[in-house]
Chains A and B, each alone.
Chain A
Amino acid sequence: MNRDTLVSFEGVVKRFGSFVAVQRMDFEIRKGEFLAIMGSSGCGKTTTLRMLAGLEAPTEGTIRLSGKPINHLPTWERDTPMVWQSLALFPFLNVRENVEFALKMRGVGKAERRRRAEQWLDRMQILEFAERNIAQLSGGQRQRVALARSLVVEPEILLLDEPLSALDAALKVRMQSVLKNLQRETGITFVYVTHSQSEAFSMADRVVIMSRGRIEQIGTPQEIYGTPRTRFVADFLGSSNIFSGKVTQSGSTGLEVATRDGAFRLSGSVPHLPQSGEEATITVLDTKTNLSVTPPEGNLNVVPVRVIGEEFVGATATIYTETDTGHEIKVQKSHDELASLPVGAGQRLYASWSPADSHLVGAA
């Protein structure tokens, strides 16, 4: 165990009856990092967070906080405050009383309680609403009350369970920067559960991607985006074109994979070089894929495609095409780059990408 490790999950399994919510999970949370746990609903991300908070006990394995096993420590004896998806503010208390709650439960004196609560209300820029009822606050203000209520005890770690899901898009973006700055300034470790890729990637230092109770990949947003480790991750992120096939050539400089849409080459170093004849899946980012009217020159992978449709994504557009076998290839380009390209539905074009931009993922 590393000196920088704050939390470690060691072989943690959680079963509800016969349903396995989390299966044999091993990972570490570092001191002071912003970690996002991401996955679709039912992947076990919230269960993981609840085990860390002490609201569920692991069926097997050990969870350590600062080196001490905490499996059987009840949640009220841990300093692992959580910001809830519903926020769970106490409706019968005003803003100040909500923020003071955790201090009151810890037996902090009245004057001290008030001072510390006001300090956090001020920091969250909601001191003027201190005497208001929760029902009189807007969504963004409630969000800040919930954060102040959890942070007032100045914990080492803060757990957040999709706290922004109820906000509208503009407010969500604003709260993301509030959260990110807060985390940086306080140095408190944030563990943020979300199903939203944009939230996870914009705030987190590291992202854990989960699927069906298992960790698929842990890494920085750049690593996960650029080099998805499994086919699931590439699919889940939805920003890569994916091809599967059999390896026909394999060497130190790269390999060639025969797919139903043709043979594609991949160059550069590969961590585990597969042998000829093995199954392999390669991916290439949609931003690294090009379209042209005539077959492009040079050392490229090329495949003829037919345009299916176009999707406008702000500064860029995504062109959806398919190969003769019906395999989807998407290409993301700026509007300028697309201006000279005929992209009406049914248009025949050539998709191409460099072997150096191809990436090999695990067979799973």
Chain B
Amino acid sequence: MTQISGEELNRNRAVDLALKVYVVLAYAFVFAPIAASFVFSFNSDRFPSIPLGEFSLEWYQAVASDPLVWQGLTNTLVIGVIVGVVSTVLGFGAAYTDYRYHFMGKQVYLALALLPPTIPVIILGLAMLAYLSRIDLSGRAISVIISHVVVCAPFAMAIIRLRLSQMDPSLEPAAWNLGASEWATMRHVIIPFTKPAIFGALFITMAVSFDEFAVAWFVSGLNETLPVKVLGFLQGQVSPRINAIGTFVFVISMTLVILAQILLSGRSAPTVEKE
């Protein structure tokens, strides 16, 4: 199969160039605030202004020496890892159920499973707070975990479901036919096949949990996660420490998302060699 590249289509060069410039500008617009935060986190000046002062790590030192920040970071990481694992397991189960079985009300099942991310976070946060305090589970780390799993599991399900849809429908019955029981097939065929998506889902759901602020703000109580802590800083004072934390969180999240991206695009499209 021959791939048609841009050059072969003989397009207008000016249009080509303009489109490229457009893409660069769009990205610049999206990433400018983050880049600014990144730059000012290394700036010695108290207030973000141009010209810049000298290079400094003082804000990072200030952040690193604040036990409250460490507390928030620990909470964020522990919660993120647990949420990632639990959401991925739940998402896998939901996606496999959708792949394997046909039953009455399957459309409703799917709609409900994928619904949570579409609910406005403020409403979800409030509802979670009301519900969790009613069953005496609010204001703890577990409250944030439960709430984040609700938000994250649908992402995991969507990612794993996509991978399962790429699977040859004969693959599972072929394994049964070769003597593998349903559990053995799950272990030796379904999980190996979906592995890239499972890890992709794990990293994406961790990243979502790391960044999630609104729901965590409602339900976390004293067990604040880092994004909630940042809001605390903002309400008290304007400090370049926020830039330092922001840069740090951004780097972690982006690493996770990029890892997931590599996993999900790498092996999903097998190359077929012609004879």
Contact status B274-A138, CB under 8 Å: yes
CB-CB under 8 A for A88 and B174, given A138-B275, A139-B275, A140-B275: yes
User: Whole-angstrom distance between the alpha carbons of A104 and B181 in the complex?
Assistant: 12
**B189 at interface by CB-CB < 8 Å:** yes
Which of A77-85, A280-288, A301-309 has 4 or more CB atoms under 8 Å from chain B?
A: A77-85
Contact status A85-B170, CB under 8 Å: yes
Range, interface on chain A: 20 to 34
Contact status A75-B173, CB under 8 Å: yes
Contact status B275-A82, CB under 8 Å: no
Contact status A81-B274, CB under 8 Å: no
User: Whole-angstrom distance between the alpha carbons of A55 and B177 in the complex?
Assistant: 8
Residue of A nearest to B273 (CB): A136
Count of B interface residues, CB-CB < 8 Å: 24
**A298 at interface by CB-CB < 8 Å:** no
Partner of A101, one of B168, B178, B193, B270: B178
**B175 at interface by CB-CB < 8 Å:** yes
Cβ contacts under 8 Å, B274 to chain A: 138
Contact status B273-A105, CB under 8 Å: no
A116: min CB distance to chain B, Å: 14
**B12 at interface by CB-CB < 8 Å:** no
Contact status A88-B168, CB under 8 Å: yes
CB-CB under 8 A for A82 and B174, given A102-B179, A153-B179: yes
CB-CB under 8 A for A76 and B273, given A86-B168, A90-B171: no
**A19 at interface by CB-CB < 8 Å:** no
CB-CB under 8 A for A88 and B275, given A81-B177, A105-B184: no
Contact status A135-B272, CB under 8 Å: yes
User: Whole-angstrom distance between the alpha carbons of A137 and B171 in the complex?
Assistant: 18
Contact status A55-B193, CB under 8 Å: no
Contact status A135-B193, CB under 8 Å: no
User: Whole-angstrom distance between the alpha carbons of A134 and B193 in the complex?
Assistant: 14
Contact status A76-B180, CB under 8 Å: yes
Contact status B193-A74, CB under 8 Å: no
Contact status B273-A135, CB under 8 Å: yes
Cβ contacts under 8 Å, A82 to chain B: 174, 177
Residue of A nearest to B271 (CB): A135
Interfacial residues of chain A within 126-169, with CB under 8 A of chain B in the complex: 134-140, 149-150, 153
A-side interface residues toward B, CB under 8 Å? 53-55, 74-77, 80-82, 84-86, 88, 90-93, 101-102, 104-106, 134-140, 149-150, 153, 171
5 new A-B pairs (CB below 8 Å) besides A76-B181, A88-B173? A81-B177, A101-B175, A101-B178, A105-B184, A150-B178
